[in-house]
């Protein structure tokens, strides 16, 4: 069980890192929108930003995007629950 939990945690961290590394692409497109002037094509810049966000979210042919992170998170939570290391119960003062 501990090996499954460790493997699931490592996979979750890997997927998180892959998604985070692609945030620079989104920030670059967003900066283009923010720095646009009144004579620039805002529609085109926003469309480009929207496409990039969608690509990071859904992935492509070779990358699962944030869906891979979602799957890894579900597997990690299942492994965590199976190993019995769920979140500790909190007892409130006066209960």
Does residue 94 belong to any structural domain of this protein? Answer: no
Domain total of the chain: 1
In tens, the pLDDT along 37-79 reads 999 999 999 999 999 999 999 887 777 788 889 999 999 999 9
Does residue 22 belong to any structural domain of this protein? Answer: yes
Phi–psi pair at 57, nearest 5 degrees? -70, -50
Does residue 19 belong to any structural domain of this protein? Answer: yes
Q: Determine the structural domain holding residue 56 and report its residue range.
A: 2-82
Please give the full DSSP string across 19-51, using - where no structure is assigned.
Answer: HHHTHHHHHHHHHHHHT--TTS-HHHHHHHHHH
Is residue 93 very low, low, confident or very high in pLDDT (cuts 50, 70, 90)? Answer: confident
């Amino acid at each position: 069980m501990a090996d499954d939990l460790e493997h699931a945690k490592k996979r979750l961290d890997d997927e998180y890192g892959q998604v985070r590394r692609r945030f620079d692409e989104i920030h670059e497109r967003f900066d283009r929108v923010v720095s646009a002037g009144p004579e620039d094509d805002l529609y085109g810049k926003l469309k480009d930003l929207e496409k990039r966000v969608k690509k990071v979210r859904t992935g492509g042919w070779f990358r699962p995007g944030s869906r891979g992170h979602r799957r890894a998170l579900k597997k990690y939570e299942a492994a965590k629950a199976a190993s019995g290391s769920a979140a500790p119960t909190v007892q409130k003062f006066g209960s």
